Chains A and B, each alone.
Chain A
Amino acid sequence: MTVTVTPQTFNFVAYDAALIQRVTDELLASLGLTDRDVNVEVDETTPLARIRVEIGDAIAIRAESGAFEDTKRPRQQSEVATATSIGRVLLRVRDRLVGGFGEAPPDEELSLPQVAAWDAYCVGRLARLGIEVNEQRWRYNFRNRHGFTDEADEAFNKVWTSDGLTWGELQGITQGLSV
């Protein structure tokens, strides 16, 4: 299993390819995803923060530079943001490959509430891996997609604290909540 990062040298932002590689290596080891190569491509020409992943013989991650950015210091890299962004998509990969998410729609066909629920499920697990996350940020995102109600909060708590959910179970928890 190898991790490659492109570009190796950044011109628009002060990012460190070695840091991205190390963070990805550590996440892969923690998540037990050691049977495939991973290519991380960073688009440094945009400050947006989208991150996409494709599963093939290798795992291809395409991240916009904002996904790894320290929002306090524009154009500087944040290790926590890097770990959260990459960890989130790697957990989606693991869910699809071995976690009972085989019937989940392709990423581009997921609805906004589905994305919010899956993100909450992923980031909750990242928090338990020791990555520093702001739970309230993800709760707010979840509420925006599932409603500002006690029922939505209860669903969030369940998703956030769960391990080993299937796609069907995740859907079941959030069913009927979407605003």
Chain B
Amino acid sequence: MRQFFPVEELARDERFHTITNRERMGDPRTVFHSSPQPRNNNRLTPSRKDASDAARALMHGIFVGEIQALEGAGRTCHDFETSTGGASDPDTVPFALKMDMARQAWDEARHVEISVLLSNWMGTEIGQYAENTVLFEAACSTDPVLRLAGVNRALEGLAIDVFTTMKEFGDLAGDPYLEFCEDWMLADEVTHVKMGSDWLRKVTENDPERRKKALEFQSVVDKLFSYGGTRSDSEESPIGLARRFRELAGFTDTEVEEIADVSLAALNERKAFVAKAHAAP
């Protein structure tokens, strides 16, 4: 079986349509539709007029994200030889790390099944929305430590924020299935992030340069996945930052603050860009 699988060759049937992040961000309407003075509150709650459709779209995003997370964790089990994974063997990973990735793949497979059922419940068909494959791209690094930083800490961290928002949505709307399922998946995501945090520290224990590089990569992915302010502490962002669950997942207070800053910076950059676009003749 081949190693380091390219994103273009992910297996999808005719129900799916994949787009790149460039295509997604290149939609000219996403600039012009934004008011230079945006609403104070865009958080995904049932009080939004478009609440159910917005929740359905986010649920589909979760579904395809789970597929890609499954594929990413599975690749990390297979792509690297088993050894210490330390400074002398940087192209390898410890066996116990592979076991954690296998457990994660099992969790993600279950999440895919749950997401399909939730999508049915919400009236969404498989493949109804375009699939952005950027999550899997973050899982394609040739350095396993960068995968831990980019996928387990940045992307699974984002999953914590998304699941928390959806769980709260289900709670407020009185949807018992949504709230219950998101809560259970959230518990798994906290574990996945914790595994990433623990292994990152352990594998780079004697290699500060590699750790620094991994954390920089995480920061890049965190900013990329803040999607111009989609996730931040601000009520202007549809998805909030789940500070408490991030603490449980092994993020230090400083690290949570850094993510909050990166997310807010992404939101502010986005607002400045929109204001500039509107001001242009």
Contact = CB atoms under 8 A, between A and B. Distances in A.
Interface in A53-78: 64-65, 71-75
Given A73-B17, A137-B123, A46 B27 contact: no
Nearest to A146: B174
Contacts of B208: none
A74 B130 contact: yes
Contacts of B205: none
B174 A136 contact: no
B33 A45 contact: yes
A46 B33 contact: yes
A96 B35 CA distance: 33
B21 interface: no
A129 interface: no
Contact of B32 (A46, A73, A138, A147): A46
A166 interface: no
Contacts of B175: 143-144, 148
A148 B46 contact: no
B175 to A, nearest CB: 5
B28 interface: yes
Given A45-B32, A72-B129, A74-B130, A139 B173 contact: no
Nearest to B16: A72
Contact of B29 (A47, A137, A143): A47
Nearest to B31: A45
Contacts of A138: 123
A179 to B, nearest CB: 5
B229 to A, nearest CB: 16
B174 A75 contact: no
B122 A75 contact: no
B174 A72 contact: no
Contacts of B127: 72
B29 A13 contact: yes
Query: Chain A, interface size: which category?
Result: 20 to 34
B92 interface: no
A128 to B, nearest CB: 18
Nearest to A45: B32
A73 B49 CA distance: 24
A137 B122 contact: yes
B29 A46 contact: yes
A93 B134 CA distance: 43
Interface of A: 12-13, 44-50, 64-65, 71-75, 112, 115, 134-141, 143-144, 147-148, 179
Given A45-B29, A112-B47, 5 more contacts: A48-B50, A64-B33, A74-B23, A74-B24, A136-B120
18 contacts: A12-B28, A45-B32, A46-B29, A46-B33, A47-B30, A47-B33, A48-B50, A72-B17, A72-B128, A74-B23, A74-B130, A134-B124, A140-B56, A140-B121, A141-B123, A144-B173, A179-B173, A179-B174
Interface of B: 17, 19, 23-24, 27-30, 32-33, 46-47, 49-53, 56-57, 120-125, 127-130, 173-176
